[in-house]
Structure 1
């Protein structure tokens, strides 16, 4: 119902207006009355009113002054002014103050009905437009959120992190707080245990509930790794190493999931890290903590800090050797490194073995993601391997599982590298994820170990356009999604899709679509 306020200093006029039409039938509800403009303004401050019908001549504040005030303070409110013949010109001038219509006294029922129907149609159109704008903004915000989640996953999984590019990208994605030197971070792995794998709705509900929890907590982000389909990951920012915020978040997660999904949760709390370069270790440490949980379905929280010795043991040079072995499908080198990592250290503790095994599994998953070979069988193999690390019934079983998984991934990587079409699809998927970064053929040739000239020629042959044209088209498509969000400035959109200059972005956009970003946004929102 459209809510109406009648304002007139004569009670008989107010009563008469109530009787002239069937307000409910017309879609209106008279919710309040006022005897002058001052009373009307007070009511407007405290009630949600859509339409004010006001007399012209009233004590204290008259109809024209009320219309002026409404136009400024309550611009969404529609105004109909009632007047006598002697005020005709005065009323007509008042239309400039936001008055939608005026009616001469005594008001004829058919004229009032006509005025109300015009107002109703106008309000309906405005509300439809508002609802559409809200929907568009929600979609745009969802798109930005997805970009944020993908980039956090990138921070924990990518091999090469260039500090300057990472810093700029975090600013573009409105993740500046991750750059605060006084802010530490902690990763939290959450698994729901013992649910029917065939019922995907429950898994989706789990992710949606966790996403809502993350939104409620300041400095908290959610993301998920496709390699761990039964889990979600939280990134919690901390002002100090105190565990208070983390404890509160964990309690909130467990209580909500138990209440709404009726299932148990197993939560692993990772090490507190102080720098973006430590995010990978922080993430793996949360997986390691989770892997120390006990079998069964009861809810558990595991906060098991990894010592610096255990983290240091898996040094960057060892990680690089393992990655190269997977990249070049060198099983001999992989086995040598695996036995060195998992069997070469004297007095290997259970925790250091488990952490190192988790790290190896993580590297295998990263290579699978890079070449876009995270098929169901590989994801299942990763999960089964993770389960055996978690159970740790046998170190030999864990090693055998890692070798079998490595063989499977290496076969797929080898196929990707020796099949131009598969390799280009991997490159293309990488570009689709990192289109907003400073990405070039030289960068891609380094990442995928391909000659840049050969990559350029092969990319054009399989994709149908050269790399630069493909990148521009992709960035423009992403820009059209972001431009739907009026809260983002043009320079924000430019940055988010990989342009440092809004001027150059506008030039490219107009060349691509025949209109500037501002013109495109106005055509969507109906403004301008």
Structure 2
């Protein structure tokens, strides 16, 4: 805390300074002023918590100083120290905010008591201000979340309007006279590169910045309110209920504010007017669809307004008809063939005069599925990357270049997988030869080699031209043939040594693979017969 002593007599100022034990009250700095004018010049910079002032001084006296402090520094506590025991002076001091009125000569005990009372009062006020500030901060943090949830619910279910009406009027400035609305949507699927880098640490800060800008404009004339939709799509919704006829102009002003503040622009979709609140859901879907139906090949402004009958029939972009040619090119792992196949695909795409977000997303899904067919479980695949020009339009040359590059990466991945597959399958085959007599399930092999059962079955058959069970049976029977050459082994012992607990089943498998029973094989080998 800080204190300021104001008196035209220097010895009085000196006496007050000496009589008080300032550190015991938590006061770390004490300054002096010889009159009211000097005090007024010092107070703004000093910001004292306590002011001691005489009432009768040349120029601005105590009354003028008290009035100035009450207007400009109402938190400052003032203790009047005067040599005049005059009722009018006391009354004026109290009326103008004086906390205490002490008479000269100053009594040290009375001074200490007055300082303590003023310090306690200031500390209580400071604590109250701190709590109020914390409360306000909590409310300011909770309010956007509350309105995000409530308005998101209102978009989907108009029955919420009855619960929200009073809050809309009180907190957001909505008027029941506003009978229609329009919905604007800011899409964040394609964030400008400069803004993405600026907010790389977290998208929440970008949402916060965009909502602040939008609501700064919308709240000026209580035009509406912006919030983040809680449906998982992450869109920012602008609910406009006032001056809906000029909503397009309002969105363009907001777009300019975003550009000026963040250094980039975002596409916005705007619905036609709809009854409020009954038409909210329809208006939201229309704004979203208008945004997604914009032509990515040509920049036609950043705000896109819905018009009657403007939605064209949906047609998927070319891909499936070129899939076989792309597959053969990837399989060849030849750069020129891959570039030629991609070139044919994009020669077709260039014939299109309009490409929308929905068409592009479907194309990305088809490309991702095409990649997935080439990769075994757990393989990392490059994401289909769709490049945009600085103005947000689609860059076809760069898109073709990146697609060809991804196909090359896919060819390299496929080639590596072939080598790894061959190596892994032969490792599995070697393991089975060494452990053929054991009870080994397909799941045991999958767990040991960290591959899926389906993948092992498919690749084993492709590489070795027989399935796992036939391979194990063949290895066992080959070992059994060798053991049968030893006449000291009984047939039941041979069956156990090669992994069969049932001698009859062993004989059945042996005959299936060799055309003769184990006993016949032993006799034909000239080793006699021991059953």
What TM-score, normalized to structure 1?
A: 0.46
> Could you tell me the TM-score, scaled by structure 2's length?
0.46
| Structure with higher RCO (Cα < 8 A, 6+ apart) | 1
